[in-house]
Chains A and B, each alone.
Chain A
């Protein structure tokens, strides 16, 4: 029987008790190479990542912008495989049993590994959730329901095109948290206004008690702070993959990611202090 860890639920409960939003960080596993990526991953919790999204590299990331496309290709060129991605999670779990890890990517590498084999290994490695971009609710039987049977949350994206008619379907089998994609478009696109996103998030709350993470286009501490006032979590991706891509050496990339995580985390922490005071 699969043991449920509920790291995601517990983390959001803790954040709620502390009246603050969480910081969700994204890096592609193996970017730019296995060693540097592992070092980055291991440093993230202490630097302030409340939830870690780890990208499973794929050659054809159709929903991603140039920054994450480049990061996934760097990882593949560096020899990243699904087995290596899972061993990174195992390495993290040896020293951290509290920070939720969500694997994010596209269906094909999972499908080719075999859904059951993948889920069994992912659960054993300590994976808490999955975000698989190209599996809408219409295909829940493929991976979403089997994942939940293994105790792994299936986190779904809702977007500005998800209308009131469709939202219940999107929410139906979503677990862990809901990822609200704040703009149409690919990752790394321009950020929308915080006011508009706040309204959209409130509209979703009327339909769901799940925590809501907001992402797409959030790059700076200032932007993160504005979103953290109303969202349960702020998701930052392309700013991290840029930091790795722009680094002259892999070890510089590690330092840049850690520094950015610190400043984003501080911003997210202070977001609701003003209104409390």
Chain B
């Protein structure tokens, strides 16, 4: 299937800008590396061998394509739009993150790099990175906030089993943004042999475009699968957004199809008006962090504030610059759902479809639950089920302790 060849108006410009967002706001030490990476990526995109190897790994290692599953009982229950789930949760390592990691590790090998570093929040990107590093025999260092290490223990153990070194990050607030700071500090220090696999559609150019391209396999498959099942394009696409890679991967192949409604779901945490949320677009303002200009959670003084979400994977005070641009030009709409709504949606999907979703993906489900009943029965909605929920058992069982302790199922 290969990588998309975006049209001129969709691609970032030569300096990596999507409108006024994006760019390469990095220290001079990193500039030569970023330019080298861009060159390597451009050359890989033109190389049929790179595509062939990527396609083979997608098929035989990741398990693509991922199913597009008609959620019959969820659709019936909500009584509106026909809801399909794009089953990224069934892919190797349990989330969409591997799509990007497999692409970047192939690039790392092409560039002769032997040491892989990455940041991780919920640990899914860390696990996916550790996985591809093991597969290609590379040294792997994962930076993870100490707060996240506490709440995502199973993923920490997975990374270690896969041979990665997990470095707890205590600087700042000990969450994803600080892990990214420390990964950047590592990269600046070990420029010669290190490849930094950024896990989302953020960071300096070319990362936002490159990660999007590797994730676009999601939307490309949806296009083909839906043509087969329904004989047409979807009417709406719904995906959760932290940095925004699963959403960008789903949206991007449909950007030019104006009939397709694109809905990104941010984490409203305890509520947008409480200040304890992770909704950069709806509760933030434009700024510059981690190499790109985008919407950020910050004070009026430009100091970055903490994100809050029940889901560690959405707990980031920024968002990919292409989303900021789609928001500004109005091509995509962005909404937010709270921790409680996400938790309810989590339970709903478990009971109705026999699928335990990631808390991140539960945000998308929560919005679909609100949206679907308002739509006609011939409306086709595709929801990206970006990951599975096994990693969230500790968080969920703590929050639902009373309910789970009851003898009978709470019906």
**Footprint of B on A, CB under 8 Å?**
57-63, 65-66, 69, 73, 76, 81-82, 106-113, 133-136, 138-139, 156-163, 166, 170, 181, 184-186, 189
B24, B27, B286, B289 interface centre (most CB from chain A within 10 Å): B27
Chain A residues within 8 Å of B29, by CB: 63, 157, 159-161, 181, 184-185
Residue of A nearest to B296 (CB): A108
Partner among B24, B293, B304 whose Cβ is within 8 Å of the Cβ of A136: B24
Within 8 A of A (CB), among B175-227: 177-178, 181, 184-185, 188-191
Given contacts A134-B25, A157-B28, A109 and B301 within 8 Å (CB-CB)? yes
- Name the prevailing secondary structure of the A interface residues: loop
Q: A82-B301, A184-B189 are in contact. Are A62 and B28 (CB under 8 A)?
A: no
Complex-state Cα separation, A157 to B72, whole angstroms: 59
A63-B27 contact in complex given A108-B287, A161-B32, C-beta closer than 8 Å: yes
Measured between beta carbons, the chain A residues less than 8 angstroms from B304 are: 59-60, 108
Contact of A108 among B24, B28, B32, B288 (CB under 8 A): B288
B171 with A186: CB separation less than 8 A: no
Q: Is residue B329 within 8 Å, beta carbon to beta carbon, of the partner chain?
A: no
CA distance A184 to B185 in the complex (A): 10
Q: Is the CB of A63 within 8 A of B188?
A: yes
B298 contacts chain A at the CB level, 8 A cutoff: yes
Whose C-beta in chain A lies nearest to the C-beta of B32? A161
CA distance A202 to B219 in the complex (A): 53
Instruction: Provide the bound-state CA to CA distance between A133 and B181, in Å.
Output: 14
With a cutoff of 8 Å between Cβ atoms, the chain B residues found around residue A106 in the complex are: 288
Q: Does B44 contact A (CB under 8 A)?
A: no
Beyond known contacts A139-B23, A162-B31: 18 more, CB 8 A cutoff: A57-B303, A59-B172, A59-B303, A60-B178, A62-B185, A63-B27, A73-B172, A82-B301, A106-B288, A108-B296, A111-B287, A136-B27, A136-B31, A138-B24, A161-B29, A161-B30, A161-B33, A166-B32
> Cα distance A139–B20 when bound, in Å?
12
Q: Which residue of B lies closest to A81 (CB)?
A: B301
A158 and B32 alpha carbons, distance in the complex (Å): 11
How far does the alpha carbon of A134 sit from the alpha carbon of B26 in the complex, in Å?
A: 4
Contacting pair B298 A112 (CB below 8 A): yes
Mark each residue of chain B from 301 to 320: 1 if its CB lies under 8 Å from any CB of chain A, else 0.
11110000000000000000
Interface residues of B (CB under 8 A from A): 15, 23-33, 171-172, 177-178, 181, 184-185, 188-191, 285-291, 293, 296, 298, 300-304
User: Which B residues lie within 8 Å of A110 (CB)?
Assistant: 302
Main secondary structure of the interface of B (DSSP, over half): mixed
State how many angstroms separate the Cβ of A233 from the closest Cβ of chain B.
Answer: 18
Docked Cα-Cα span, A78 to B265, in Å, equals: 36
Give chain A nearest CB distance to B22 CB in angstroms.
11
Report whether B289 and A60 are in contact in the complex, using a CB–CB cutoff of 8 Å. Answer: yes
Determine which of B25, B184, B185 lies in contact with A135 in the assembled complex, contact meaning CB atoms within 8 Å. B25
Choose from B28, B181, B286, B291 the contact partner of A159 (Cβ within 8 Å): B28
| Residue in B289, B293, B296 with the greatest tally of chain A CB atoms within 10 Å | B289
Question: Which has the most chain B C-beta neighbours within 10 Å: A110, A157, A185, A189?
Answer: A185
Chain A min CB distance to B276 (Å): 17
Known contacts A62-B27, A66-B171, A138-B31: does B303 contact A76 (CB below 8 Å)? yes
- With contacts defined as CB atoms under 8 Å apart, how many contacts are there between chain A and chain B in the complex? 117
Is the Cβ of A181 less than 8 Å from the Cβ of B28? yes
Q: Considering the chains assembled together, what is the distance between the CA atoms of A46 and B188 in angstroms?
A: 35
- Chain B residues with CB under 8 Å of A113's CB are 301-302
B265 to chain A, nearest CB (A): 26
Q: Can you name the residue of chain A whose Cβ is closest to the Cβ of B305?
A: A59
Q: B28–A156 contact, CB under 8 A?
A: yes
Which residue of A63, A107, A160 is within 8 Å of B288 (Cβ)? A107
The answer on a CB contact under 8 Å between B191 and A184 is yes
Q: Which residues of A contact B25 (CB under 8 A)?
A: 107, 134-136, 139
Task: Report the Cα distance A139→B23, complex, angstroms.
Answer: 8
Inter-chain contact B184/A62, CB cutoff 8 Å: yes
Listed by A's residue number, 9 A-B pairs whose Cβ atoms lie within 8 Å are A59-B304, A60-B290, A113-B301, A139-B23, A157-B28, A181-B28, A184-B189, A185-B189, A189-B189
Closest to A186 in B: B185
* Residues on B with beta carbons closer than 8 Å to the beta carbon of A138: 15, 23-24, 31
* Distance, CA A138 to CA B23, complexed state (A): 9
A61-B304 Cα distance, complex, nearest whole Å: 11
Q: Are A69 and B28 interface neighbours, CB within 8 A?
A: no
9 smallest beta-carbon distances between A and B, as pairs: A112-B302, A185-B189, A109-B302, A159-B29, A108-B302, A63-B27, A134-B25, A59-B304, A59-B303
> In the complex, A139→B302 CA distance in Å?
19
- The answer to whether A163 touches B301, judged by C-beta atoms less than 8 angstroms apart, is no
The distance in angstroms between the C-alpha atoms of A123 and B301, with both chains bound, is: 19
A61, B182: Cα distance in complex, Å: 10
B303 touches A136 (CB 8 A): no
- Measured CB to CB, the nearest residue on chain A to B36 is A161
Most buried by A among B29, B31, B32, B177: B29
Query: Smallest CB–CB gap between B277 and chain A, Å?
Result: 18
Q: Which residues of A contact B31 (CB under 8 A)?
A: 136, 138, 161-162, 166
- Report yes or no: A63 in contact with B24, Cβ–Cβ below 8 A: no
Residue from A108, A113, A170, A186 with most neighbouring chain B CB atoms (10 Å): A108
Which residues of B have CB within 8 Å of A109?
Answer: 301-303
| B-chain residues with CB within 8 Å of residue A112 when the two chains form the complex | 285, 287, 298, 300-302
Question: In this complex, what residue of A is CB-closest to B171?
Answer: A69
Q: Is the CB of A184 within 8 A of B171?
A: no
* B184/A134 in contact, CB under 8 A: no
Best-surrounded residue of A57, A63, A138 (most CB of chain B within 10 A) = A138
Are A60 and B27 in contact, CB atoms less than 8 angstroms apart?
no
List B contacts of A134 (CB < 8 A).
25-27, 288, 291
Instruction: Find the A residue at minimum CB distance from B23.
Output: A139
